[in-house]
Amino acid sequence: MDQIGINISNADLLNSIGEVIIISDTEYRIVWLNKKAEEVMKGIYSLYGLNSTDDIIGKSMDFFHKNPKYQRLIMDKDLNDGHKARINIKGKIIADIIITPIQNNKELVGYTVMLMDMTTKDEEERRKDLLIQELSVPILHIWDETIALPLYGDMNILRGEHIISTVLQECVDKRIRYVMLSLSGVTSFDETVHYNLNRLTETLRLIGVKSIMVGINPDLALAIQELIDAPIFKDAHSGLKYIINLEKDNENT
């Protein structure tokens, strides 16, 4: 601890951080772990044939790498300003790692290693599946020149942009005239949801496509009606009936 300038107050500060923090000397030998690291590493000991935290202290980081020489090359090259990477621990755990040099009067005295967002391999795969599901745009062709778009999950700005570009392309390619937006999977109407829906309906209007909103509960309907200029119906049947009537009116004019 003394050789890299960590005193009691600094140790207390690092122990209060809710992330795994490991400190090594300049030769990448582990010299200290915070309380969070000690707790998390208990689940990793068996993967490396270790029994306790005492077995980790003094170990070189090379011990934990499948290809130590390659890892050393990267670390020696990139660690002047810090190094970020995603690591795979024995095919069981995925973590984001940040390695930062520790300097004392501009002299390198060691490294801080922080492991963040640690998840099991199975959890990581579930996250990926969920992200793919949320980024997907399930477009349903329900009638002539009419598509339905069920909306659900996290309606953030990134997903909103993806939805808008995908729906626009579909409308142009298939000569769509009506888009039925089903909001039954949207549980709250915050500023981000409003922004995405407003942009979508306005953009569709610019290319001559009419938006209809369905599957909205009464409370959500009141909030949306004040902010979004589009017909609103309680279910898809009512929305489709509205579209059919519009088409009949157009034929009679």
For 203, what's the count of Cα atoms within 13 Å in the CB-facing half-sphere? 17
Q: 120-151 pLDDT, tens per residue?
A: 666 766 766 666 655 577 899 998 899 999 98
CATH number at residue 98: 3.30.450.20
So what's the pLDDT on residue 3?
54
- In whole angstroms, give the CA distance from residue 21 to residue 43: 15
240 within 8 A of 142, measured Cβ to Cβ: yes
232 shares a domain with 198: yes
Q: What is the average per-residue pLDDT within 9-24? A: 86
30 within 8 A of 136, measured Cβ to Cβ: no
Q: pLDDT-derived band of residue 97, with 50, 70 and 90 as boundaries?
A: confident
So what's the pLDDT on residue 138?
84
Beta bridge partners of 20: 115
- In whole angstroms, give the CA distance from residue 105 to residue 140: 64
Domain count, the chain: 2
202 shares a domain with 178: yes
So what's the pLDDT on residue 147?
96
Q: pLDDT-derived band of residue 179, with 50, 70 and 90 as boundaries?
A: very high
- Whether 189 has a pLDDT exceeding 70, the answer reads yes
Beta bridge partners of 210: 178
Q: What is the average per-residue pLDDT within 106-117? A: 87
CATH number at residue 154: 3.30.750.24
- In whole angstroms, give the CA distance from residue 81 to residue 111: 11
So what's the pLDDT on residue 170?
93
- In whole angstroms, give the CA distance from residue 56 to residue 41: 9
247 shares a domain with 210: yes
Q: Which of 242, 116, 230, 146 is nearest to 183 (CA)?
A: 230
- In whole angstroms, give the CA distance from residue 84 to residue 113: 10
So what's the pLDDT on residue 9?
67
Q: 201-219 pLDDT, tens per residue?
A: 999 999 999 999 998 877 6
So what's the pLDDT on residue 151?
86
User: Is 0.75 surpassed by the pTM of this model?
Assistant: no
Which of 120, 150, 177 represents a domain boundary (last residue)? 120
Pairing mode, strands 146-152 and 140-143: antiparallel
Which of 73, 93, 120 represents a domain boundary (last residue)? 120
165 shares a domain with 110: no
Q: 19-61 pLDDT, tens per residue?
A: 899 999 988 899 999 999 999 888 888 888 898 889 999 998 8
Please give the mean pLDDT across all residues of the chain. Answer: 82
Q: Which of 4, 7, 37, 6 is nearest to 21 (CA)?
A: 37
- In whole angstroms, give the CA distance from residue 181 to residue 213: 5
Which of 93, 120, 147 represents a domain boundary (last residue)? 120
Q: pLDDT-derived band of residue 73, with 50, 70 and 90 as boundaries?
A: low
So what's the pLDDT on residue 124?
64
Give the chain's radius of gyration (CA, Å).
28
73 shares a domain with 17: yes
Structure tokens that stand for 112 in this block: 């801080």
Task: Examine residue 33 and state whether it is found in any structural domain, yes or no.
Answer: yes
Q: Which of 60-69, 200-209, 243-252 has the lowest mean pLDDT?
A: 60-69
143 shares a domain with 113: no
